[in-house]
Amino acid sequence: MKAVFYTESGGPEVLNYKEVPDPIPGPGDVVIDVAATSLNRLDVLQRNGWFQMPGFSYPHISGMDVAGTVSEIGEEVTNAKLGDRVVVDPSLAGVSDNSSLSGRGDLYGELGIIGANADGGYAEKCLVPGSHIYPIPDEMSFEDAATFPTCYLTAAHALFKVGKLQKGETVIIHAAGSGVGVAAIQLAKNAGATVLATAGSQSKCERALEIGATHVMNNREGDVAGWAREVTNGAGVNMVMDCVGTALFGPSLFALGVHGRLVNCGNASGDEAVIPSLGYVFHSGITIHGSDPYEPSEFEPTWKEFCSGDYKVEIDSVYPLENAGEAQDKMLSGDFFGKIILNP
């Protein structure tokens, strides 16, 4: 099979597009003929050597979000047949012992993730546990399905499992143009929350309104906390979901009202943050949460919700697999809205 892989850290020049051995399924595995895989920020972070997951090793094939057809089936897999159109849960938590990818399910340790520290979807074929595939509706494209796994599970877990977002509450969602932001806006809106979205350009703000945000703001041009207070009549928001990190940490805290929750699920602008006022935090009963990895039981209900048809898929651009470096440069530039897709 052809795959994009790298054997050292660096820029897009370290990516190789070459023939590699086909994956061999264990008794509990299937092989997917990859039809589409979507990019995530981790793809570039690991390639550049800025951050690498525990258990990462060279050579590495990226691609956490995989959709395609089942082309080989291990002898103990009972939930799949050849030709099934499926999307893949990339987390290796909850994998049975009969899979060659088992033993990597420690949510708070060396968690295995397809495309992060196990070979992923930047290839014509991908090895996955048979327990981690879910049928794609006939009317859904492979590209649309590939936008789902990492972004929607990250957003749903942060909003509901960690942040306990409720119908009628107000929530700020930063990075509205990112894949996670697009997912979070729609999940929160469909749960009955009022969404305040921020992004780094006016065009992204306008598109955030189209997918369900009630209020939007360019976070590079104004006072985020003041804006949040204004649109909530001085009360502040109930929750902030932040995958930006350093740049918006302080404004996010001051945007929260009494008993507000700040849920962090990323650090796109930096890993260090300073609490600007402990007094405000304890007087207002503010809580700060880290959004930990999602649990295996969360994938299927979130996928069924996504398949309900109440979600607008935002695909910014599609690249052939051999142009993965160009696609990664596009993502790193920030000049995109939604997801970037690779087609083998």
What does the pLDDT look like over 277-315, one tens digit per residue?
Answer: 999 999 999 999 999 999 999 999 999 999 998 999 999
Any domain includes 336: yes
Euclidean distance between CA atoms 170 and 128, whole angstroms: 38
Q: Give the pLDDT band (50/70/90) at residue 269.
A: confident
State yes or no: pLDDT of 116 exceeds 90. yes
Residue 300 lies inside a defined structural domain of this protein: no
Q: 155 and 278, same structural domain?
A: yes
Based on the domain organization, do 132 and 48 belong to the same domain?
A: yes
What pLDDT, on a 0 to 100 scale, did the predictor assign at position 108? 86
pLDDT at 109: 84
Clarify whether residues 21 and 131 are in a common domain.
yes
Nearest C-alpha neighbor of 298 from the set 152, 114, 191? 152
Whether residue 64 contacts residue 342, with contact meaning beta carbons closer than 8 Å, is answered with no
CATH of the domain at 117: 3.90.180.10
Residues 103 and 219 in one domain: no
Q: Is residue 238 part of a domain?
A: yes
Q: What is the mean pLDDT of the chain?
A: 96
Kindly state the average pLDDT of the residues 199-218.
97
Is 296 among the domain residues? no
Q: Are residues 273 and 321 in the same domain?
A: no
**How many structural domains comprise the chain?**
2
The model carries a pTM of 0.96
**Residues 278, 214: one domain?**
yes
Mean pLDDT of 14-26: 98
Indicate whether 183 and 255 sit together in one domain: yes
- The answer, yes or no, to whether residue 151 has pLDDT greater than 90, is yes
299 inside domain: no
- Least confident stretch, 114-118, 138-142, 178-182, 266-270: 266-270
Q: Is 175 left (phi over 0), alpha (psi -120 to 50) or beta?
A: left
Average pLDDT over residues 13-27: 98
Q: Is residue 244 part of a domain?
A: yes
219 by DSSP, 3-state: which?
coil
Q: Which domain holds residue 191?
A: 151-290
Q: What ranges make up the beta strands (E) of the chain?
A: 2-5, 16-19, 29-38, 65-73, 85-88, 125-129, 133-135, 170-173, 194-199, 215-218, 237-242, 256-264, 287-290, 315-320, 339-343
Beta bridge partners of 318: 341
Per-residue pLDDT, 25: 98
- 143 & 196 share domain: no
Do 6 and 142 share a domain, yes or no? Answer: yes
Tokens standing for 155?
A: 């957003």
**Is residue 320 domain-shared with residue 279, that is, in the same domain?**
no
Q: What is the CATH number of the domain that holds 260?
A: 3.40.50.720
Say yes or no: 136 and 213 in one domain: no
Q: Is 217 part of any domain?
A: yes
Report residue 43's pLDDT band, with 50, 70 and 90 as the boundaries.
very high
Q: Give the side-chain half-sphere CA count within 13 A for 74.
A: 22
